[in-house]
Amino acid sequence: MSDLMSMLVPLAGTFPGWPAADTPTPAEALLVLFGIPGLVAVVIAVLVFAGHLARQGRGAQVHPKEPLWVGGQSGELAPARAARELTTGTGDETTGGASVRW
């Protein structure tokens, strides 16, 4: 039997001259065919989920109800300025910047 042909022969038994191998029990066969791949899949899923949780902890979607100020005051208008701002509607006309919606 050539090398190529030997690869095509189903491993129904032990080759002549090889040490005898025990026939696996159905439980061992199930463990090898389903148990180990399942365990690997679970480990991969846990790793992926852990990474997702880590990202979510840093960048979770935010739906605020109370505003947060960083580097500014509370946002309450001073009385004199409030009157001017509320009558003009917008702030300083010389302001610049940008706007986006998503």
Partner 1 sequence: VSAGELTPTQTEDLKRAVRLAEEDSELRFSLYVGPAEGEPRAHAQQLHATLTDPPTSVLVLCDPEARALEIVTGAVARRTLEDGECALAALSMKSSFEGGDIVGGLAKGLMQLGRAARVPRTLHVTPSTD
Q: State the residues that interact with partner 1 by CB under 8 A.
A: 55, 57-73, 75-78, 81, 85-86, 89-92, 94-102
The CA distances from residue 31 to 23, 39, 64, in Å, are 14, 10, 50
Nearer to partner 1 among residue 6 and residue 90 (C-beta): 90
Phi/psi of residue 91, each to 5°?
Answer: -80, -145
Nearer to partner 1 among residue 2 and residue 87 (C-beta): 87
Q: Tell me the closest approach of the beta carbon of residue 23 to partner 1, in angstroms.
A: 53
d(CA 7, CA 1): 10
Phi/psi of residue 50, each to 5°?
Answer: -65, -40
Q: Tell me the closest approach of the beta carbon of residue 56 to partner 1, in angstroms.
A: 9
Q: Tell me the closest approach of the beta carbon of residue 59 to partner 1, in angstroms.
A: 3
